[in-house]
């Protein structure tokens, strides 16, 4: 019996683009779009998302999902969050 990791079904490239990119989106890409469309306080918004994502592992544990799946998602979130953190 083959058990398929359900995370693989989520691991497809997003069809949305940010600043003409759909992979390796950086903080600079988000800032460029925010400026273009007139979003104020974009640095704080991005920081809030990065902070919320950093709590994924703790919060998801209460749902008892497959550990391999949650570990893969956490690793992917962390990889993306690193690109979005503000350089101080």
- In the numeric block, the tokens 């979130």 are attached to 77
How much is the pTM?
Answer: 0.71
- In the numeric block, the tokens 């640095």 are attached to 43
- The pLDDT of residue 39 is 96
- The pLDDT of residue 80 is 84
- In the numeric block, the tokens 């890409």 are attached to 29
- The pLDDT of residue 7 is 57
2 inside domain: no
63 inside domain: yes
- Tens of pLDDT, residue by residue over 51-70, are 998 899 888 888 888 888 88
- Tens of pLDDT, residue by residue over 8-62, are 665 665 577 899 988 888 999 999 999 999 999 999 999 999 999 889 988 888 8
- Are the beta carbons of 79 and 53 closer than 8 angstroms? no
How many domains does one find in the chain? 1
Question: Which range of residues forms the domain containing residue 52?
Answer: 40-88
């Amino acid at each position: 019996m083959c058990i398929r990791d359900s995370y693989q079904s989520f691991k497809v490239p997003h069809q949305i683009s940010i600043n003409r990119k759909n992979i390796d989106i950086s903080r600079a890409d988000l800032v460029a779009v925010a400026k273009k469309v007139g979003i104020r306080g974009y640095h704080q918004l991005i920081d809030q998302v990065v902070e919320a994502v950093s709590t994924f592992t703790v919060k998801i544990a209460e749902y008892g999902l497959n550990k391999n799946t949650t570990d893969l998602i956490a690793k992917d979130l962390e990889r993306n969050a690193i690109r979005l953190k503000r350089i101080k």
